Amino acid sequence: ILNVEQSPQSLHVQEGDSTNFTCSFPSSNFYALHWYRWETAKSPEALFVMTLNGDEKKKGRISATLNTKEGYSYLYIKGSQPEDSATYLCAFETTTISNFGNEKLTFGTGTRLTIIP
Partner 1 sequence: KAGVTQTPRYLIKTRGQQVTLSCSPISGHRSVSWYQQTPGQGLQFLFEYFSETQRNKGNFPGRFSGRQFSNSRSEMNVSTLELGDSALYLCASSLWQGQETQYFGPGTRLLVL
* 35 residue type, one letter: W
- 86 φ/ψ angles, rounded to the nearest 5 degrees: 180, 175
**Cα–Cα dist 115/112, whole Å:** 10
Cβ distance to partner 1 smaller for residue 47 or 80 = 47
If binding is defined by CB under 8 A, does position 102 make contact with partner 1? yes
Cβ neighbour number for residue 89 with a 10 Å cutoff: 21
- The verdict on 53 binding partner 1 (CB under 8 A) reads no
**Position 40 contacts partner 1 (CB under 8 A):** no
Q: Which of 46, 56, 58, 69 binds partner 1 (CB under 8 A)?
A: 46
Q: What is the DSSP letter of 101?
A: T
User: Minimum distance from CB of 116 to partner 1 (Å)?
Assistant: 24
Q: Under a CB-based contact definition with an 8 Å cutoff, are residues 53 and 66 in contact?
A: yes
* Binding residues vs partner 1 (CB under 8 A): 1, 31-32, 34, 36, 42-46, 49, 51, 89, 91, 93, 97-110
